[in-house]
Amino acid sequence: MSTADAAVDRPTLRAGLVGLGAMGRNHARVLSGLDGVDLVGVVDPAADVAEMPPGVPLLDRLERLLELAPDYAVVACPTGYHEEVGLRLAAGGIHALIEKPLAHTPEAARRLVDAFEAAGLVAGVGHIERFNPAFQQLRSRLEAGELGEVFQVVTRRQGPFPHRIADVGVVKDLATHDIDLTSWITGQPYTSLSARTASKSGRVHEDMVSVVGELADGTIVSHLVNWLSPFKERFTAVTGERGCFVADTLTADLTFHANGAFATEWEALRAFRGVAEGDMIRYAFPKREPLQVEHERFRDAVHAGAAEVADLVTVRQGLRTVEVSAAVLESARARSDVGGAAGEPSHAPAPL
């Protein structure tokens, strides 16, 4: 039976949305057109009804959404409210897709994990970059052994200050993408890291961070993240024994630079480019909107009753990313090395 045929036989799910900010409006757009799902209500006491999808009621408090008995809800309110909203959804038996980061502290994230796991509910975290086509391709190729042993993961995620973000700094907002992705594509947890932060825009929270760290298998990682650059960059390079993969999630491109098989004999060119160069391949593959794919995966997970079947970011994985982000901030505060934990690999040694 095809996926389309299977979808016909499944009951329509009732979905709710909590939060209609910049990300919430994107969730509303996708939910209102998602096959097999009815968006039954949106909670946001400060939202304008003109921003709502046609025919969907705008609600002023969470209780009114709970009264509508949705099968699941998307939580896109500010991070500081994730714990309160998530716990109430879990108590009501409602599956939840919670925007990243899972919560504002590791302790709050653990309480969410405990609540959803105890209730036997499907709960995921909206680390949308996992569904970027470039990273889907990259992870598949790494799992297939195309790079051989992985030596290093380097990421740069920088751009202008987003005025929509006020409740967290650049570590919890942007760097959590790189923390989650690095652990996910390598299958390894963080074991140590050192970080430095700065706040140059006059805000309470940091707007720049530099992180160096190590994964459980010895892979070296480096993350450079800021809200201070006049250009936008989303760059990941994974270097290994056979060359280097470069992913650009702004364009969803994945390029492979192979190690050179031939020495460069032209001395001036060798000095400019390096001793040897190999082939460079930019892969062609379908490029669907990551948010659309994320919602389809969550819908399917709710039907199946398990997050793992749809390769979602589980709340336990989301917890470990929150723990690493807390370790980043602690390292920067103390100006020292600290241990961390991220990802949920089945084969990696236990993190510190």
Query: Cβ(281)–Cβ(242) under 8 Å?
Result: no
Question: Confidence class of residue 10 from pLDDT cuts 50, 70 and 90?
Answer: confident
Q: What is the spatial distance between Cα 133 and Cα 135, in angstroms, rounded to a whole number?
A: 5
- Dihedral angle computed from the Cα positions of residues 76, 319, 167 and 21, in that order, rounded to the nearest 10 degrees: -10
Q: What are phi and psi of 226, to 5 degrees?
A: -160, 165
pLDDT digit string (tens) for 57-66? 999 999 999 9
CA distance 122 to 71: 10
pLDDT at 162: 77
Report how far apart, in Å, the C-alpha atoms of 191 and of each of 59, 173, 174, 215, 327 are: 44, 22, 21, 5, 11
Mean pLDDT of 195-222: 95
Give bridge partners of residue 314 from the DSSP assignment: 124
pLDDT digits (tens, 9 = 90+) for 188-203: 999 999 999 999 988 8
Q: Report whether pLDDT(157) > 80.
A: yes
* Contacts of residue 9, Cβ cutoff 8 Å, sequence gap at least 6: none
Reference 183, options 142, 145, 146, 147; nearest CA is 142
CATH 3.40.50.720 applies to domain 3-128+291-313: yes
pLDDT > 70 fraction of the chain, expressed in percent and rounded: 88
For the cut 90, the answer to whether the pLDDT of residue 207 exceeds it is: yes
Measured distance CA(193)–CA(212) in Å, rounded = 6
- What sign has the CA pseudo-torsion 194, 200, 203, 208? negative
Q: What is the pLDDT of residue 9?
A: 76
Element (H, E) at 42: strand 37-43
**Higher per-residue confidence, 265 vs 178:** 178
The residue ranking higher by pLDDT, 124 or 3, is: 124
Q: Say yes or no to pLDDT of 352 above 60.
A: no
Q: Is the pLDDT of residue 275 over 90?
A: no
Nearest-angstrom CA–CA distance, 273 and 181: 30
pLDDT at 203: 82
- Cβ-contact 86, 94 below 8 angstroms: no
Confidence (pLDDT) at 168: 85
Average pLDDT, integer, range 23-47? 96
Task: Give the pLDDT score at 139.
Answer: 97
Residue 314 and residue 312: Cα distance in Å, rounded?
6
343 falls in which pLDDT band (50, 70, 90)? very low
pLDDT of residue 272: 65
pLDDT at residue number 271: 67
The domain locations on the chain are 3-128+291-313, 130-288+319-334
pTM: 0.89
Structural class in CATH, domain 130-288+319-334: alpha beta
